[in-house]
Amino acid sequence: MKKLALSLAVAAAPFIAQAETIEIEKPSFYGKLNVTQEFVQPENAGNYSQLNSNASRLGLKGKIALDHGLTGIYQVEYEVNADDGTESKSGNTLTQRNTFAGVKGEFGEVIVGMFDTPFKATQNKIDLFNDLRGDIKNVISNSENREANSVQYTSPNMGGAVVTVDHINSEDEDTNNGLSASVAYTLEDIYLAAAYDNEVEGETINAYRVVGQFTVDAIQLGALWESQDTDGESKDGWLASAQLKMNSTVALKAQFGFSDIKTEGGSTFSLGADYKLAKTAKTFVYVTQEDSDDESINATYIGGGLEYKF
C-alpha cells in the first residue's frame, strides 16, 4: 500500500507543479460617478431644480486564457443612482447595463448577453454631452438602444475597418428578430462609420446612420446624420459638435442639431466647459436649450457637476 501511494504521488507530481504555475487573472473592478445639479426653465411652466445621477455605474470585467489561441472575455455592469438611490422607472437600486460573456481570437470576437447595439456604438465621441440633457437620445435619435438576448460578432481590424453585426433574439413567435449592423473606419485622427437597424426591439422600424469625426491639434469636429423609416414614413435628424482643448485641463465644447424623429421640429443646442481635476476626474458646466413644435417640452437646462472614474 505504501509503494502504491508513493507511485501515485510521483505520477501526480508534474500535474501538481503545473497547476501551481497557472496564473489566473483577477477581474478588474471599475466604475464611474457622474452627478449634476441642474436648474430647469420650462417655456410654459414654473422653474425647478434637480440633482441628477448621469449613468453612474459599477462593473467587473476580465479575460481568461483559453486553448487554441482563444481568449474568453466577460463583463458585468450595473447602473447606480447616486442622487436618490433608485431608478425612477423601475424603482430598482441597480439597473443592468452592458453585461456579456464571449470569446475572441484571430477570427474576431463573439459576445452574448445585453449590450449597446452596433448602431448606438457608432456615435463614438461625437456626442459631447452624452448622458447629460444634451444627449442625442433626448431630441435627435430613437435608436440609442441597449438590447438583451443579443449575439454579436465583431470582425478583426481590416486596414482600419471593423464590421459588427448583432442578432437580437425576440424570444417570441409573434415578434421578428432584430438586426443591428455597422461598419467603422479609423485612420489616425479620422473616424467614419455607417450603421443600420432593422426591427430592433421588435418594431417595424428601419434606421440608418452616418457619422464622421476629425481631430486636428486641439480641435475635434464631429457630425451625425440619421434617418428613421416607419411603415414607409421617413424622418431625419442631424447633429454637429465641436470641442476645443484650451490646454491640458480646460476644454470648451458646443453641439447643435435638428430632428423630426423624436418630435416634430425638434432642436437642441448645448454649450459647455470641462475642467480636468486629475487623470480620472473632472468638473464641468453646461447649458442646453431644447425646442420643438410641441411647446410644452421646450426648456432651458443649466447645470454643473463632477465626474470620477475608477
pLDDT (0 to 100) of residue 3: 43
Query: Is residue 1, in this structure, part of any structural domain at all?
Result: no
DSSP state of 297: G
Query: Is residue 22, in this structure, part of any structural domain at all?
Result: no
State how many domains the chain has: 1
Residues of the chain with pLDDT under 50: 1-10, 13, 15-23
| Residue closest to 23 by CA, chosen among 69, 65, 68 | 65
Query: Is residue 17, in this structure, part of any structural domain at all?
Result: no
What would the grid cell of residue 3 be?
509503494
Number of helical (H) and strand (E) elements in the chain, helices listed first: 2, 18
CATH of residue 290's domain is 2.40.160.10
CA angle 52, 55, 61 (to 5 degrees): 150
Query: Is residue 108, in this structure, part of any structural domain at all?
Result: yes
Query: Is residue 111, in this structure, part of any structural domain at all?
Result: yes
Q: Which three-class secondary structure state does DSSP give residue 128?
A: coil
Query: Is residue 193, in this structure, part of any structural domain at all?
Result: yes
Query: Is residue 261, in this structure, part of any structural domain at all?
Result: yes
Question: What is the share, in percent, of the chain residues with pLDDT greater than 90?
Answer: 82
Distances (CA, A) of 204 to 165, 178, 229, 230: 19, 10, 9, 6
pLDDT (0 to 100) of residue 89: 62
- Look-up: residue for cell 422653474? 47
Q: Residue 141's domain spans which residues?
A: 27-309
pLDDT (0 to 100) of residue 17: 44
pLDDT (0 to 100) of residue 203: 78
Query: Is residue 14, in this structure, part of any structural domain at all?
Result: no
Q: How far apart are CA 230 and CA 233, in angstroms?
A: 5
Distance of CA 168 to the CA centre of its chain: 17
Half-sphere exposure of 51 (CA within 13 A, CB side): 8
pLDDT (0 to 100) of residue 201: 79
pLDDT (0 to 100) of residue 198: 97
Q: How far apart are CA 213 and CA 126, in angstroms?
A: 7
